[in-house]
Structure 1
Amino acid sequence: MNITKNIISIAKKVLHEEAAAVLKLADYLNEDFDRCVQAILAIRGRVVVTGIGKSANIASKMVATLNSTGTPAMFMHAADAIHGDLGMIQEDDFVICLSKSGNTPEIKVLVPLLKRKGTQLAALVSNIDSYLAQHADFVLNATIEREACPNNLAPTTSTTAHLALGDALAVCLLESRNFSSEDFGALHPGGSLGKRLYLKVDDIYTQNAAPKVNIEANLKEIIIEISSKRLGATAVLGNAGDLVGIITDGDLRRMLSNFDNLANIKAADIMTPSPLTIDCEAYAAEALSIMQQRNITQLIVVKSGNFAGFVHLHDLLKEGLV
């Protein structure tokens, strides 16, 4: 399939224009942005994000980002707000209103109602001279030179700018709250993302057998242990019960090439000493990372420094981490 150069050049032009507009937003950050973050951190209520048209779509995404990063938020459509939904705003809530022009009829009706309730209002606008900006407590400047649309009409660059500035606000709140990956995981328990953030090795390895042999074990004992436990490996323990090595299927194959006489082979002769281990309290995602980096399919699990069992790549596949 041939792709015309004109199509590619148009796409590149849009991406370059929108990227430049987003970068320009950094120059507009000022004391209002800082004060807005501090005000949100101080409230006991929620952040209510509102808008109309395409701004409503961006507002809805902004709410999702805030909620997932530790700032309770809810969406309110600006048109519905002036037809009854304004009642959802409670004392100590904080409103962020998104609008490109800041002069739409719904916004002009909504703003006085919010001010009458005594609600703090932040305007995320592309027109800082607008009605909305002039009546807001905080102005988040998302000014753009023009839309990427060739007619300078369809919201394109403006919605991208609003989205990016909303993300900047959410991340500032996140870092100010010291919101950790563990906190993020607690709010995202579903899917592979959530499991990467909360699933630990301890949640998985106990489902497996724990193959182990003594360092003096003979070849027959080693093969039986590996075969019966079906993990492709066995731990090797010293006489004091300490972990001293690992024997894998690969070690057995290499043994056939390295030894002519198999009769007197012991575990100590073919094991890999000082094997890689992972603590049972480590995250399963860390186990996966080690396996991928070392190109291996199993890891020995230790608990309080002692051999506890194995975690296998198949376990991680089953949990959807890969």
Structure 2
Amino acid sequence: MISAPAAALAPPDLLRIARQVLHEEAAALYGVADAVGATPDFARCVAAILGLTGRVAVTGVGKSAHIAGKIVATLNGTGTPALFMHAADALHGDLGMIQAQDFVLAISKSGDTAEIKVLVPLLRRRGVPLAALVSNADSYLAQQADYVLHAPVAREACPNNLAPTTSTTAALALGDALAVCLLEARHFSAQDFARLHPGGTLGKQLYLTVGDLSRQNQRPHVGLDAPLKEVLLEISGKRLGATAVLNAAGALAGIITDGDLRRMLGGHLTDLETVRARDILTPAPATVGIDDFAAEALARMQARNITQLVVLENERFAGFIHLHDLLREGLV
């Protein structure tokens, strides 16, 4: 039975412990970074994975298995096909998921766990390349592997030096380094990322275009000689807070917003019947291309502190995109 603490820790003690853990783990990562360059194995491992026709199978047991699952998710999301195989389950049938064209990355702090010692000879019989992500470079796993990804850890952040803390952080970070190197080597672009992450706000930022949103809106526009009443009706009727002003050739001459109207009325004009669109338009308004990403439209609105942009298609007026469109999609 776990005994209750004699007394609760004071907030200053809690902060001291938290900072100590973070400093210890950060210091360990510097050691891992140094170890990456100590041998050619990391670069050789990256090259081997790039040449695969199969998948990277990442395996481990205990906390290393959880780290393996996250590395698999990162590899899959950045263009390297991967799968997770629990080292214990591999001994009870899951080994069948490993094919001759695959590559195995085994994660183990000690490199000497019982499951790993049983699994490695079985992998060797299948003839698949094996990389070991270990803290102990002299371990059984490291000695049997084709590539050693060394993540040295002097001690865990746990005061008893028992709970996997620093070692799992080091393994996770080294797995991230591997995934990012592969990403860079594949010239994996933001568009590639978007194809694999279509859901949620992150995906929308990378695939949703201005046209996807602006085509749902009406296209308020008037001619240069439109009277004030027509301008008012166009702005209020189409509910975008503005109207484009087009010349006789249909090219964009400017924009009139509801703010322009308020400023005009505040100027104490006496003869509103004579006012025409050309008299109150703002020339050279802010625009965005119909094929630009919606996230770019948001950035332009924020930079200018405005709520709508004129949308252009082949340099011709194609409508408006409004801040409300972006809010509706959760991009703001």
Range class of TM-score, shorter chain = over 0.9
Task: Report matched runs for 1:209-228 at 5 Å.
Answer: 209-228=218-237
Could you list the per-position Cα deviations for residues 234-269 of structure 1 after superposition, in whole angstroms to 9, with x for gaps in the alignment?
001112211011111110110012242223111122
Alignment partner, residue 277 of structure 1: 287
Task: Report matched runs for 1:142-161 at 5 Å.
Answer: 142-161=151-170
Q: What secondary structure is seen at the aligned counterpart in 2 of 1:244?
A: strand
Shift of 1:145: 1.2
Task: Report matched runs for 1:24-173 at 5 Å.
Answer: 24-29=31-36, 30-173=39-182
Q: 1:7 aligns with which of 14, 38, 42?
A: 14
Alignment partner, residue 3 of structure 2: none
Aligned equivalents of 2:29, 2:305: Cα separation in 1: 41
Is 1:190 aligned to 2:199, yes or no?
yes
Alignment partner, residue 315 of structure 1: 325
Aligned residues: percent identity? Answer: 66
Alignment partner, residue 249 of structure 1: 258
Aligned equivalents of 2:280, 2:250: Cα separation in 1: 18
Q: What secondary structure is seen at the aligned counterpart in 1 of 2:132?
A: strand
Q: What secondary structure is seen at the aligned counterpart in 1 of 2:83?
A: strand
Aligned equivalents of 1:259, 1:70: Cα separation in 2: 62
Alignment partner, residue 263 of structure 1: 273
Alignment partner, residue 302 of structure 1: 312
Could you list the per-position Cα deviations for residues 259-293 of structure 1 after superposition, in whole angstroms to 9, with x for gaps in the alignment?
42223111122111100100000001111111122
Q: What secondary structure is seen at the aligned counterpart in 1 of 2:274?
A: coil
Shift of 1:297: 1.2
Shift of 1:313: 1.1
Matched residue type, 1:272? T
The Cα RMSD (Å) is 1.1
Q: What secondary structure is seen at the aligned counterpart in 2 of 1:95?
A: strand
Could you list the per-position Cα deviations for residues 101-130 of structure 1 after superposition, in whole angstroms to 9, with x for gaps in the alignment?
000010000011111111100000000000
Aligned equivalents of 1:285, 1:189: Cα separation in 2: 14
Q: What secondary structure is seen at the aligned counterpart in 1 of 2:215?
A: helix
Q: What secondary structure is seen at the aligned counterpart in 2 of 1:70?
A: coil
Aligned equivalents of 2:19, 2:49: Cα separation in 1: 37
Q: What secondary structure is seen at the aligned counterpart in 1 of 2:237?
A: helix
Aligned equivalents of 1:303, 1:93: Cα separation in 2: 47
Aligned equivalents of 1:305, 1:138: Cα separation in 2: 55
Matched residue type, 2:153? I
Could you list the per-position Cα deviations for residues 180-212 of structure 1 after superposition, in whole angstroms to 9, with x for gaps in the alignment?
000000001111111111111111111100000
* Number of aligned positions between the proteins: 321
Q: What secondary structure is seen at the aligned counterpart in 2 of 1:208?
A: coil
Q: TM-score, normalised by structure 1?
A: 0.98
Alignment partner, residue 288 of structure 1: 298
Matched residue type, 1:263? E
Alignment partner, residue 30 of structure 2: 23
Matched residue type, 1:183? D
4+ residue segments displaced more than 3 Å: none
Alignment CA distance shift 1:228-1:3 (3 Å): farther
Q: Which runs of 5+ in 1 are unaligned?
A: none
